Amino acid sequence: MGKRGISRQVNKYVMAGVPTCVLFYLCTECFSSLDETVEHPLQFIPLAYRKQFFFMFLFLTLVLFAVFRVLDQPLRTDAAPNGIVSFELAGNTLTARAITDSWKQLSLLLSATGQPNPDIVNVAYVFAAFGLGLDYLFMPIYALALGFATLLVTQKHAGWLHSLAVVAAYGAFTAALFDALENYALFQILLGRGESSYPEIAAFCATIKFSLLIFGILIVLLGWLLPGKAK
């Protein structure tokens, strides 16, 4: 991978990380003086079951994440060094087409003639489509895992961290909604409609999704590391 390709990938992750930092700063400023009248979306869950639900959804999240790692292996090419994540953050028609073309090339390598063969399954396309479909099951699971993690933070902390944990919980479920929209756009690209605005839509939704999830994880880490305060 050339220097230009590496630089492009770095810029993508920087662009995905910058909104997270900005979001964290703005939320800290806006919610530092906020009282605790806004309830956590999972507040109705009895205290006795919260940890059990958290560990259950965390376990399911890790299992599905391991499955996605396996599904991602055929998707890693020179055009998509990070597999499906590269596809999500393509951001434009040319990059998206280069990625899908690299996946098509994998099936051509299996053909004795070097030409498309309907009898040869495009493994990369199948894995990508299956992964996008499975992701719809993954969305509520990771959202609930992060939601219950932030719920435990609200039990431990008062003040600004309690308020940010509530915001992060709503952000986790919002991230799942953006994830669903992103996957729809990616499906359209796989169906050959990449010449439209779908690559831009997918990249926008992916950036928001990753930003909200990273924000939530940071809040949970802060909640676990910082000493609790009496409410």
Give the percent of the chain with pLDDT over 90: 65
Contact 223, 152 (CB under 8 A): yes
Distance CA 8, CA 4 (A): 6
143 domain-assigned: yes
Q: Say yes or no to pLDDT of 103 above 60.
A: yes
pLDDT for res 196: 85
The DSSP line for 9-69 is HHHHHHHHHHHHHHHHHHHHHHHTT--S-SPPTTTTS-HHHHHHHHHHHHHHHHHHHHHHH
Which tokens sit at 121?
């399954």
Report residue 231's pLDDT band, with 50, 70 and 90 as the boundaries: very low
Distance CA 138, CA 57 (A): 10
Phi, psi of 36 (to 5 degrees): -105, 35
What residues make up the domain containing 146? Answer: 3-225
Q: Give residue-wise pLDDT tens across range 40-79.
A: 999 999 999 999 999 999 999 999 999 999 999 999 999 9
First to last CA, the chain: 53
231 domain-assigned: no
Q: Say yes or no to pLDDT of 112 above 50.
A: no
Distance CA 18, CA 207 (A): 10
From 41-50, 186-195, 202-211, the region with the lowest mean pLDDT: 186-195
166 domain-assigned: yes
Q: Which of 169, 119, 167 is nearest to 144 (CA)?
A: 169
Report residue 193's pLDDT band, with 50, 70 and 90 as the boundaries: confident
Q: Say yes or no to pLDDT of 136 above 90.
A: yes
Q: How many CB atoms lie within 10 A of CB 128?
A: 26
H-type alpha helices, the chain: 3-31, 47-72, 84-88, 93-109, 123-156, 159-190, 198-225
230 domain-assigned: no
Q: Say yes or no to pLDDT of 122 above 60.
A: yes
194 domain-assigned: yes
26 domain-assigned: yes
Give the percent of the chain with pLDDT over 70: 75
Number of structural domains, the chain? 1
21 domain-assigned: yes
Report residue 25's pLDDT band, with 50, 70 and 90 as the boundaries: low
114 domain-assigned: yes
Q: Which of 145, 147, 150, 169 is nearest to 220 (CA)?
A: 150
Distance CA 120, CA 111 (A): 7
Which tokens sit at 223?
């909640």
For the segment 94-98, the average pLDDT, to the nearest whole number, is 94
Phi, psi of 113 (to 5 degrees): -95, -10
Distance CA 164, CA 7 (A): 33
